[in-house]
Structure 1
Amino acid sequence: MTNTSATTRVLGTVGGRSRGAGRGRGGSHRASRGGRRIGRVVSLDAARGLLVLATVFWLAAPRRPFPASEPWGAIGLDAIALPAFAVILGCSFAMAQHRHWTSGGRVVRRTLVLLLLGLLLAAAAALVAGAAAGIPFDAEAGALGGLERIRVAGPLVQLAVAVAALGFLGTLARSWSGWAFAVAIATAIGAGALWLATGLCGELSDRCSPATLVVTGVADAAGATADPLITAAVTTVVAGLGLALPAASGAALVHALLRARSVTGHQRGRVIGYGLLASLLFGVLGVLAYFTPTVWGQQPLQPATALWTPPLTLAVAALACLLATAMHPSIDTDLRGGTTALGVFAQPFAALGRISLLAVGTTLAARTLLEAVSPSPVAAFARLGDIPSIVLGCVVAALWLALALWADRSGRRLRP
């Protein structure tokens, strides 16, 4: 699919001053074909920064102030985080695609980085748990200090799968209409697979999902028993494909904004209109994914974080579109790094958004390793009550924000 005129050009500043995001300090700029410096989109980085603050607070608090989500059951506030990161990931991919800054090699490199970090974290947690359980290193006996039971799972591995799927979709879709069509097709495929699974074995659970059906079917054909670790790994891949849907939604949103910015007049109204249109599209697709099974007498497709089902991820994508519709015209004068007078208030959060992988990855690794220790210091701290946990979460979030501001003002790049 080729570029359309509406999404291959973005006009200069209209109705506001142009100030490069993080100009000379932490902001990433590249020269455009017309000679103008192209900076990062401040509202996008600021949205990522706010999400990072909430995520590191949640990860750092030993005793969560709100109930956590269950993989196959109740949905909590934490269920918003990973799909929201996927939406922002898709937005960043679409901006790089529009500016011709992306390539197959970069997609592969980012996928491998996330996959390697996820596997290293899983291996470290397995070794810590093995040491706590007294498992020795004895290759002849099949004991590797806990590594023999490593779980290939976790949010970083899921995001790696989502990045790979997003890169594939990016070879087919390069415009607002192309990405909207890709989101619709991905919803139909993902929801269809889940409808089929629930039709075969009942309600979605750890015993009834596309992953368990595939692993169990292969194991039965080979005359073996399904390994729970293999089932967990395949479930992680399926969950990563589930996160590709909100990522594609983020790409569609950015291309909608690019189309809105492609004409000189009434840009603010067009931005709001296209943002609401994208939100409506994702909301309708989510409702269809949820209720369609009732047509043939099945239960509605329930939201589940274990697989990141379309009703959940599309709801998050629709909400993200509404927030972007409000934030983008309020903070950005264009999609080339220019900001309005409100941009100065968004800059601290934008600075944190630029080190999102470092902040979230480090905090996630620390909590994962501490929880693997027996007895767990996380559980011991949680017994102190809600207030100490909330204070600790706020302190960790404030430290990351301070580090991001220091790096932004000193011009240092803090990226893994």
Structure 2
Amino acid sequence: MFSFSFSSVFSTARRTSLVGRRITQFGLICLCILAVSCTDHQVPDLSSERRVQLAVDSVRRVLEDSLGQPVPSMNVLIQTPSQTYFASAVAPGRQPLTPDTYFRFASNSKNFTATAILTMYQDGWLDYKAKITDLIPGANLPYVPTTPDWNIPYKSQITIEQLLQHSAGVYDTDNDTIPGLRGETYTNYVQTRDSTHQFTTEGLIKPLIDHQLKYFVPGNGQHYSNTGYAILSRIIERVYSAKSGRTRTYADYLYDHITGPNSRVPIPVSFPYQASDQLLPQPSVASLIRNSTKWGVGFGPVNMSAHVAEGNGYGTMAALNKYIRSLMRGENVLSKQTVQLMQTDVSAAKREYGLGTELFNNLGYGHNGAIAGYLSVMTYDPNTDVSVVAMLPLWDFVRGQASFNTCFFHMYYAGYAAKRALGYPIIR
């Protein structure tokens, strides 16, 4: 029977998401070689769709050879100014995915959260430069509660902007170990003992208060923090509730203003927050986690209540493409000026992470995600007007962190190879 610590695998992959953001020069050189082999020697009359499929097929096979184990599928959706292409490269005997296959897109959720915050900013509902202890505009209510269970370190110095940028110094109880919990994170410790536990923001920040955990004084560094985004979820809830005159949730705001049928660009995605809401809609793809036994286990039901606003979203590749493309083109809820603010914050300041947005070499602006066996990235490149969504439903730990990183990098390589197959150059 395949066995492993769900907690350690879950946490390790989330921490490694930063590795996936740093596509090294070595990786780009390897990719260029791969991309050329996929495109330069093809028969000239091959259709563009066929070239994309062959490129993604090649990356899947390279990954499979590198791991020495089967890779169930590698999937890329790419949209150019004139056409949309989809390629699902699968192992022999497997059914290809479609653009409308559901999966968990993990930390891509953070970009939706940033969009919610910036939409509220556009509407005058909040000031993203404000401290989290300041009052909500037009209400005698601070952005976060004043109760003792919210007395986190440096609370009075933290701004909403810093939470978006991961520069607030908020300790991450989802990714980093907590004193007294046997070397485990808070979320892992609780979830592996009770998979139905209903997590709350107060529960997630309690270890920060109990042990005075923090990374640095707000504004004095940058450290990825899922817990920081959990705090943003509570801010969205409090602002929306104040404006609505009744209790509203993070999911309510996203559905009502960002993704639902009454939104400017409806997007078929969901952000479950109840511990009991653990299943994906159909059709969906099962993820696979493989460790040193060289056999894997698929994941179906997953409790997302610990990951509200930072990693709880699910949807399809078509949905993510529609979202990131319309958003970054200024055709969704954010104005072009606000989108430029989101992009400039990460590129001009040379940050690894901006306002819920990252900049990926040769792919553009967007985000990535890793959760419960799924790896994904959604991007839009304003220089080429090309959007790319890539997804790999596999975590491999046969060689530990090295083979997991190999999976993550090859997901990016598939996106690059698809773009290169359509004639877009890889810029080193």
Alignment TM-score, normalising by the size of structure 2: 0.25
| Larger relative contact order (Cα-Cα within 8 Å, sequence gap ≥ 6) | 1
Instruction: Considering fraction of residues, name the structure with more strand.
Output: 2
Instruction: Considering fraction of residues, name the structure with more helix.
Output: 1
